[in-house]
Amino acid sequence: MGQENQFEPGWEVPNDGIYIEVGEHPDSANLHKPRKVHLHKGDAFPLTGNKNRKWTRFKGHHITG
């Protein structure tokens, strides 16, 4: 089975890492200044900027801002 790649606020974090807010539609991932958070396995995902957004694992090499 594949692993989830988008997560709802309140869900348990599957792995340590940096997660970023994404829009509700796959083509809307280019949010202006999306929120990024560092979370640990077992934490709960925080609330997003609006009810239509989700969290996904950030795969960049560094964080700016």
pTM of the model: 0.77
The pLDDT tens digits of the residues spanning 3-35 come to 679 999 999 999 999 999 998 665 555 677 789
φ, ψ of residue 44 to 5 degrees: the values are: -100, 140
> Rounded to the nearest 5 degrees, what angle is found at the Cα of 21, between the Cα atoms of 34 and 10?
140
String of DSSP letters for the chain: -PPP--B-TTSBP-SSEEEEEE-SSGGG---SS--EEEE-TTPBPPP-SSTT-EEEE---S----
Q: Which two tokens stand for residue 24?
A: 């509700």
The pLDDT tens digits of the residues spanning 30-61 come to 677 789 999 999 999 999 988 889 999 998 65
